[in-house]
Chain A
Amino acid sequence: MAHNALTHPAARKVDGYALFWGLPLVLWQVMFFVAPLVFLVVMTFWTVKNFRLAPDFDTVNWVNMFSKSYVIDTYFRTLGYGALGAVVCSVLAFPASYALAFKASPIVQRIGLFVIITPFFTSYLVRIYSWQAVISDSGLLNGLFGLVGLGPFDMLSTLFGTMIGYLTLTMPLVILLQFFSLTGVDRNLIEAAHNLGCGRLRTVFLVIVPSAKTGIILACTFAFILCFGDLVSPASLGGSKPPTLSILIVDTVKQGNNWPRAAVVALMMVLTLIVVAFTAIFFAYRVKKEKT
C-alpha cells in the first residue's frame, strides 16, 4: 500500500525526530516573541517617575492616553494615512503588475521580477533620505519643473512627501503579490469574456480583478500594515506634520522615558493590525455564491 508523507502513519508519530524539528520554532518564538509581547501588555500598567520605570498595576497610562484628544486624532489619522497609502499603492501598482503579468514574455517576466525584488530589502532609511534631495524646494523635481516654467511645488514636509515614502516602502511588494495573483487567473475566462463581447476595461474589472481578488486584497493589506506602522516616511518626508502613531511612540519615549504610555499606543496598534489582518483574510478567501 502506497503512503505519501502525509498519510503515512509516521506523520502522526511524536518521536525524537518530530520534536527535533518541531520544537525549535516554538522555543525561540515563545522566548523572544511571545514573551516580549506579553510583557508589552504588562508594561502598560507600570508607572514612570523621574524617568525611572517602576513595576506597578495602575491604569493611569490608559486613562491618560485615551483622555488626550490628540492621541485619538493621531490614531484615526494614522488609520487614514495607512489606508490611503495602501489604496494609492494598490491602484498605482496595478497597471504595472498587469503589464508584467499579461504583456510580457516569460523571460521579460523573470527579468522584471528580478529587478523589482532586488532593491526590496535595501536600506529603506537611506532611500527615504535620498528622496529628500529629490522633492525638496530646491531639489531635483522642482529643478525639472523650473525648466518648463512650473513650480516650485511644496512637496517635502507634506502629506505628498509621506505618500512618496509609503510608495517607496510598499510598491515592490504590492507589484509582486498582485503579479502572482494575476498570473494565476484562468486565461480561458478572459478569452470567454472577450468572445462574449466584453470590452477590455470591463473584462479587467468584472473578470480579472475578481479572479485575482485574493492576491490583490493581501497585497493591499500588507501595504496597509507597512504604512500604518511606518516611522521614517512621516518623519523625514512628512516633516512630522502631522505626526503619526509611530512618531507619537518615539516622542513619548524621548520626552519622559515613558515606556508604559508608549506601550499603550503600541498595543493599540497591534490590536488594530490583528483586526485588519483577520478581516482582510476573511474577505480575501471568501468565495462568493454566484447566481446562475
Chain B
Amino acid sequence: MSADRFIAYGLRGWFLVALIFIYVPIVINFIYSFSPGRFPTLPLGGFSTGWYELILSEAPVPRAFANSLKAGVIVALISTFIGFAAAYTDYRYRFLGKNIYLALALLPPTIPVLILGLVMLMFLSRVSLVGELYSVVLAHVVYCIPFAMALIRLRLAQIDPDLESAAWNLGANSWRAMREVIVPFTLPAIFAALALTMAVSFDEYLIAFFVGGLTETLPVRVLALLQGQVNPRINAIGSFVFAISMSLVILAQILLLTRRSGNRGIAAGGA
C-alpha cells in the first residue's frame, strides 16, 4: 500500500508547510528585532538588544503597554461576564425573539474591524466618550463578547441538563443552583474566556486606533510607528506582543483541554 503511505506523508507534509507559513512572519520578526542597524537584512550581520532597551526606556511604549494591560483586563472581565450571561440565557431559556438575541451577540465578527472602528469613533465622539482608555474598553467589549459567549456556551452544552433542575427540586433557589452547580462546571470555560478575550483585546489595533485618540494601546503604537518611522522598534514591540498574546491563548487552551476528559454528567461541585 505504498501509494497510501505516500499520500499520507504528502498530506502531513502539506500540514507542516501550512504551519511553517503561519509561523514564518513571527520568526522573522523575532530575528529582525535583534538587528544591529536600522534597516534589518538577512543575514542579520550582527546582534543587538538595543531596540528592546530603546522601547523600554522611551515613554510611549511602556505607557502604551500599561494601557493595553489595563484595558485588556477590564475588557476580559466585562465581556466574559456578559458572554456568560448571554450563554446561560441561551442555554436555559426559551423566548420569543431568541434569534434576535443571539444575533446581537454573534453579529460583531461579521462586521469588518475597520468599519467597527469607524462607526464607534463616529458614535462615541458625538456622545463625547471618545479618546480615552474607557472608549477602547467600550468598543473592545462589543468585539470580544462573541468569543466569551461561544466558549462558555460550548461548555454549557456539555452539562447534564438534569443537574440544575435536580438542584431546584432539592430546594435550592436559582441563585444557589447557579453558584453551586453552573458556575463551578463552567469555571474552566470562564477562565479560558478571560484569557482569550484579553488576548483579543490586547492584539486589536484598528478599533483602538480610531476610538483611542491620544490614548494609545500597544498595537496602536505599532500602527503609529508603521505609518511614520519604520525601524526595528516595531520588531521588538512585536516580539513582546507575540509573547504575551500567545501565552494568553496557550493558557486558554490548557484550561479548556484539561477539562476535556471526565466531568460529563458529574457535578463539579464545591468542596
Contact of B142 among A12, A23, A32, A172 (CB under 8 A): A32
Residues of A contacting B: mostly: helix
Contact of A133 among B32, B105, B226 (CB under 8 A): B32
Q: When the two chains form their complex, are residues B107 and A250 in contact, meaning their CB atoms are under 8 A apart?
A: no
Closest chain B CB from A21 CB (angstroms): 5
B119 contacts A by Cβ under 8 Å: yes
Interface 0/1 of B136-165, CB less than 8 Å to A: 001101100100000000000000011011
Residues of B contacting A: mostly: helix
Contact of B85 among A21, A228, A231, A246 (CB under 8 A): A21
Binds A, one of B12-20, B45-53, B56-64, B263-271: B12-20
Q: When the two chains form their complex, are residues B199 and A121 in contact, meaning their CB atoms are under 8 A apart?
A: yes
Interface 0/1 of B100-122, CB less than 8 Å to A: 01001101111111110011101
How many B residues are at the interface, by size bracket? 35 or more
Contacts of A100 in B (CB 8 A): 15
B67 contacts A by Cβ under 8 Å: no
Closest chain B CB from A122 CB (angstroms): 5
Interface centre among A3, A116, A140, by most chain B C-beta atoms within 10 angstroms, is: A3
Closest chain B CB from A8 CB (angstroms): 5
Q: When the two chains form their complex, are residues A98 and B249 in contact, meaning their CB atoms are under 8 A apart?
A: no
Known: A39-B123, A104-B12, A269-B112. A6 touches B234 (CB 8 A): no
4 closest A-B pairs (Cβ-Cβ)? Answer: A229-B112, A4-B161, A126-B238, A99-B11
| Residues of A that sit less than 8 Å from B by CB | 2-6, 8, 10-12, 15, 17-18, 20-26, 28-30, 32-37, 39-40, 43, 92-93, 95-96, 98-100, 103-104, 110, 112, 114-131, 133-134, 139-140, 143, 167-168, 171-172, 175, 200, 225, 228-231, 236, 246, 249-250, 253, 259, 262-263, 266, 269-270, 273-274, 277
Inter-chain pairs besides A171-B18, A259-B122, 19 sampled, C-beta below 8 Å: A8-B168, A17-B174, A21-B88, A24-B86, A25-B89, A25-B104, A28-B82, A32-B120, A123-B241, A123-B242, A123-B245, A126-B234, A128-B25, A129-B226, A130-B25, A133-B28, A133-B42, A175-B18, A273-B110
